[in-house]
């Protein structure tokens, strides 16, 4: 049976339309500040997309493009200023930072009430105990996709490939809170293929083209591909061998057009949540 393709692009458009409508009812526009240090080309693309998303949602957006030579002190001083601005609800510092800058210190400097990425340890703590104010954007987007397509993780075997702070770990937590039985695989897992093949819901967030082959997908599994890789021909692709996996999966996300647009839509929703919080 052919897999149903989960249309992240269409769903993201719906989420953003709803965010726009809700934002229009607030006494002022939600405001998002995006900081980009250095000239990582992928980061540049993400930041431009975020500006477009803000326009679509009727938000105020401010972009701070800083040179790679920016010092830690300068970056912290910019964040401190943004923390104190009443018209800025969300602050996002695009990662990775250029060498020499301390990422941990930067994430700690962002006011947790403006941490729309949900990267501050305070917000990670709230997420861990199951009381998040903000949804981590990529895993939150995945949960929204599952919900929309009527897929409940409750009682299901969920296998997450990758244990990053941005995706793998928070993804595992959200699936756990949704009552899934969760296994996290990583570079030291000796039997990743075997564990993946047991999954009812398989989420791959490793960043390795061709990692998930058809034999790692159980018949009828839901396959979510979070990765954004470039293959040898320079084409955007995920971790999953799409054609092979789609033959066995019940639902599958494409790359591009799957998780990526949902991540951005969730950032807009978090910024709206932050604005509501700040407006009381
Ligand atoms: N770099 C890659 N993904 C992300 C993200 O979701 N947020 C930030 N701030 N940087 C990233």
Side-chain half-sphere of 106: how many Cα atoms within 13 Å?
23
94 is catalytic: yes
Please give the Cα distance from 267 to 262 (Å, whole number): 9
Distance 119 CA to ligand 1 centre (A): 9
Q: What is the pTM of this model?
A: 0.97
Of ligand 1's listed atoms, the one at least distance from the Cα of 267 is 6
In this prediction, the residues of the chain whose per-residue pLDDT falls under 50 are none
Ligand 1 atom 3 nearest Cα: 95
Domains of the chain in start order, with CATH, are 28-111 (3.40.50.10860), 136-260 (3.40.50.720)
Distance 209 CA to ligand 1 centre (A): 20
Using CB distances shorter than 6 Å, the residues near ligand 1 are 92-95, 117, 137, 166
| Short-list 147, 100, 95, CA closest to 117 | 95
* Residues found in the chain: 280
- DSSP β-bridge partners for residue 157: 181
pLDDT recorded at residue 107: 98
| Short-list 60, 7, 70, CA closest to 38 | 70
Q: Which helix (H) or strand (E) holds 198?
A: none
Distance 144 CA to ligand 1 centre (A): 18
pLDDT recorded at residue 32: 98
Most ligand 1 atoms within 8 A of CB, residue of 92, 93, 104, 116 to mutate: 92
Q: Which residue of the set 115, 117, 225, 239 is catalytic?
A: 117
Q: Which residue of the set 7, 94, 115, 169 is catalytic?
A: 94
pLDDT tens digits along 99-116: 999 999 999 999 999 999
pLDDT recorded at residue 1: 72
User: In the chain, what percentage of residues exceed pLDDT 90?
Assistant: 98
Q: What is the DSSP string of 57-106?
A: HT-EEEEEEE-TT--HHHHHHHHHHHHT-TT--EEEE-SSPPTTS-HHHH
Of ligand 1's listed atoms, the one at least distance from the Cα of 117 is 7
């Amino acid at each position: 049976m052919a897999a149903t393709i989960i249309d992240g692009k269409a769903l993201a458009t719906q989420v953003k339309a709803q965010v726009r409508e809700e934002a229009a009812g607030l006494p002022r526009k939600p405001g998002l500040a995006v900081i980009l240090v250095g000239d990582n080309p992928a980061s540049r693309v993400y930041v431009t997309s975020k500006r477009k998303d803000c326009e679509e949602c009727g938000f105020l957006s401010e972009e701070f493009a800083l040179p790679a030579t920016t010092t830690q002190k300068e970056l912290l001083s910019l964040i401190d200023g943004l923390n104190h601005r009443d018209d800025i609800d969300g602050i996002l510092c695009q990662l990775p930072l250029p060498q020499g800058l301390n990422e941990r210190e930067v994430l700690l400097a962002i006011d947790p009430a403006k941490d729309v990425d949900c990267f501050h340890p305070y917000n990670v703590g709230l997420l861990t105990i199951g009381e998040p104010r903000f949804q981590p954007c990529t895993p939150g987007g995945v949960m929204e996709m599952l919900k929309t397509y009527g897929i409940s993780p409750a009682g299901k075997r969920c296998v997450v490939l990758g244990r990053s702070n941005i995706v793998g770990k928070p993804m595992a937590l959200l699936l756990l809170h949704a009552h899934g039985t969760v296994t996290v695989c990583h570079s030291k897992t000796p039997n990743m293929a075997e564990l993946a093949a047991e999954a009812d819901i398989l989420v791959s967030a490793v960043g390795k083209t061709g990692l998930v082959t058809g034999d790692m997908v159980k018949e009828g599994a839901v396959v979510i591909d979070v990765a954004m890789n470039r293959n040898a021909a320079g084409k955007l692709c995920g971790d999953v061998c799409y054609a092979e996996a789609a033959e066995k999966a019940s639902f599958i996300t494409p790359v591009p057009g799957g998780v990526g647009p949902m991540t951005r839509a969730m950032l807009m929703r978090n910024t709206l949540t932050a604005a509501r919080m700040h407006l009381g």
